[in-house]
Each structure stands twice: as C-alpha cells, then as structure tokens.
Amino acid sequence: MKYATSAILLTVGLLLSDASQAEGLRETVLRKAAIDAGLMPAEETQRAVAPEVAAVGKLIFETRKLSLEHEVACASCHIDRFGSADGLPNAIGTEGRGQGIERLLGGGDIIPRNVLPLWGRGGKGFDVFFWDGRVEATADGVHSQFAGGEPSDDPLTVAVHLPPVEIGEMVLNSAGNEKLQGESVESATEVFTLLAERLSNDADIGPKLSGAMGVEREKIRFLHVAQALAAFIRDNFRLKATRFHQFVFSGGSLSNAEIAGGLLFYGKARCSTCHNGPYFTNMEFHAVPFPQVGFGKNGFGTDYGRYNVTLDVDDLYKFRTPPLYNVTKTAPYSHSGSVFTLEAAIRAHTDPLYEYVGSLANDAQRANFYEQLRRWATEPLFGIHLSDEEIANLVAFLSTLEFASDAAIKEGE
C-alpha cells in the first residue's frame, strides 16, 4: 500500500511538473513572439522635450484661442476619461459643447471620422499621422498637404498645423470661411498668421511662449505654436509601461486568458501582421470592412480613406492601422466609429458579415461595403475563424495594453 501511494504521488508530481513546464513554455513563446514583432520597452520610444516648451504647449492645447472663432480647443476632443479620444463615433467640432453624449446631443459640426487617441504620437518611429496618412515622413522627407512647402521636417509639427485650418473641426463652417475649403497653403497661412498674433498677445501664453522658444513676442510665428504643441503631445502622451511590457521585459505575470489571447494575437488570429512594432501598428494601410456611419469623408456615406491622399485606386477604403494602447478605453472603434465594443471590432476583422444588416444601409452604402469586402479578401485576416472564447481571450490580452500605474509596476517587481 505504501508503495502504491508513493507511485501515485510520484505520478501526480510528474503531471504537475509537466503542467508547470507547459505553462512556462507558453509564457516563453509569448515573450519571444512580442519581441520578434518589434515590442520594446516604452521608454525607448520616448523623445526628450524641453519642459518649458511642453508646459506652454499644454496651455495652447487647452485654449479655444487656437480656434479661429474661439469655438473649440484640442482638449475638447482629446479627453482623459475617453483615453485621449472623445467617446463618440464621429467627432463634434465647432459649435459643440460639453463632452461625450452631451456634446453629441448638443449639436455642432460633425467631423466625419472617429477621433484617434494621441498615445505615442511623435515618439521614435511614429511618423505617419491621421487615418489616411495625410502627413508622413519617409526617407525623402515629410509629405503632407503642404505639397513641398512643409513648415518643418518634424512630421508631428506638420500634423498639428492641420486641425486649426480644418473647416468644421476648428474653423466655423460659414460663408466667410469658404476660401479655406480649397485647402490652399495661402489661405491657411492667413489663419496661421492671425492665430500666432492672437496667442503672442495673450497675457499668459505670449510671454511663456516667447521665453520657451527664445524669440521676442512680436516675432512669434505659428511654427513656434506648433512646435510647442508637438512638445506637449510628445511629453504628455508618451508611451508608458503596461502590464504586457512588465510581462515581457520584467518577468511579470498574466492570467491564463491573457496568455491565451496573446498567443492568439501573435499566432492564429494574425493580429500582429498589422498590429506590430513598439506602437502595435505597422504604420501601413489596410482595408477592413467596418460599416460606415455618418456622411463620411467623401459624403453620401462614403469614405475612400487613403485614396483621398494618393489618388491611387489600390488605396481605396484603406486606413492606417491604429495603435492599441489603452484600446479598452477608446470605444467606439474604426475610422467611422461604427463599432462599439472590442469584441465586435475583433469580429469585424475576420467575420465582417456577422453584424452587418444590409437593409439598414442605402444603395450607395451597400455598394461601398461590397467593394470593401472585395479588398478585404486580399488582406491577411481573410479566412480566419475565431470562436467566442478566442475573441474573449483576445479582449483579455488587449486589456494588458493599458498603461499600468507606477505603484502597480513597483508592486509587480
């Protein structure tokens, strides 16, 4: 009897040892997959900024004086409680009031795309901006709507030039502003000159901007304003360590569901084909057939995406892969904000017909959707099936990409 008991204990011990080894192998595989896909410690993506420049950039980010008619600030649509987005399908620009649903119900000019969070913008290697990549840095320089007359060789500084001259976003949609609809550099320059003069005359911003940039107040130009804004965005929205960073680089732990989701993310689900690198985006453009809500960038319920920038038919309905940091806080999802849960967003990548109701779309929208499906059929996600449990595990994994508090990280060390 004694020998039988010993044998049973030995067998149980071996089984537990095998289970432990298997669990350790899963963790090892996940860590290696993340590093192979380009993940790096968050601090390695950060760029140094002058604190005094970032401080005045914060004032500019929060003031409505950056809007031509004093209608809206950057902070009106990039809000902490929504993960630096605004919690709405489509942004509400000028004439909007309040936050979240209050802003939606209060009227205002609708911006036909979903607000992108700001995490990591301007960090090392983050050089493609907006859903359609209308500002991007390549080996031969920065490309943008300035078409060769870019005000800076820093793509983030160029990018922050655009919202203050966008009709409906920070410029009132009125008859007096019709000349801005042509998006000419000359008309935009007039607005830049006015805004720079307004901010230089501000009793608080003017002297601080002058001191931070090392120029006399009367010589402040909009480039200085944009550089200060870029410094604030780089500093305030820099990447921070997440539980997943801690798991990969510091030996932290994840739950079984989170590990299973991570292995799916880098394996069967092929998420990392596009969501890779230090920002969980390849900075490239892909066609995922999300439903289009609202009138769309091209009107009549249509948004041609990257095509609007390149005029290349191969870019129709393509949008830049969005980063995934704090993605659990930034619903709704997609370029048009048409998907309200992470589960639905994941399913839309691999099974776009699951929730599509064609009877709710008009003829043009259905035609667009069919064309999106045709283009999606060439994407890496085509033909993948994910069960409800697998989708739940992927959501669990994505929750590990929330920024961890310093206290939580210290406790886990």
Dihedrals φ, ψ of 403, to 5°?
-65, 130
Q: Which domain holds residue 297?
A: 240-412
The pLDDT of residue 14 is above 50: no
> Quick one: pLDDT at residue 412?
44
H/E element, 285: strand 285-286
- Asked if 158 and 249 sit in the same domain, the reply is no
Give the count of domains, the chain.
2
Return the minimum-mean-pLDDT range out of 28-42, 144-158, 178-192: 178-192
Contact 183, 145 (CB under 8 A): yes
Q: Which domain CATH number covers 82?
A: 1.10.760.10
Contact 233, 160 (CB under 8 A): yes
Q: What is the mean pLDDT of the chain?
A: 91
The pLDDT of residue 22 is above 90: no
* Proportion of the chain above pLDDT 90, given as a percent: 80
Q: Once rounded to an integer, what is the mean pLDDT over residues 61-71?
A: 97
Which of 207, 236, 265 lies at the terminal end of a domain, its last residue?
236
Q: Identify whether 37 is part of a domain.
A: no
What's the pLDDT tens digit per position in 339-387?
999 999 999 999 999 888 888 888 888 888 999 999 999 998 888 999 9
The pLDDT of residue 181 is above 80: no
- Asked if 195 and 292 sit in the same domain, the reply is no
Q: Once rounded to an integer, what is the mean pLDDT over residues 251-269?
A: 97
What's the pLDDT tens digit per position in 305-329?
999 999 999 999 999 999 999 999 9
Split at pLDDT 50, 70, 90, the class of 55 is: very high
- Asked if 219 and 79 sit in the same domain, the reply is yes
> Per this entry, what is the length of the chain?
413
Q: Identify whether 373 is part of a domain.
A: yes
The pLDDT of residue 2 is above 60: no
The closest of 104, 106, 108, 105 to 95, measured between CA atoms, is 108
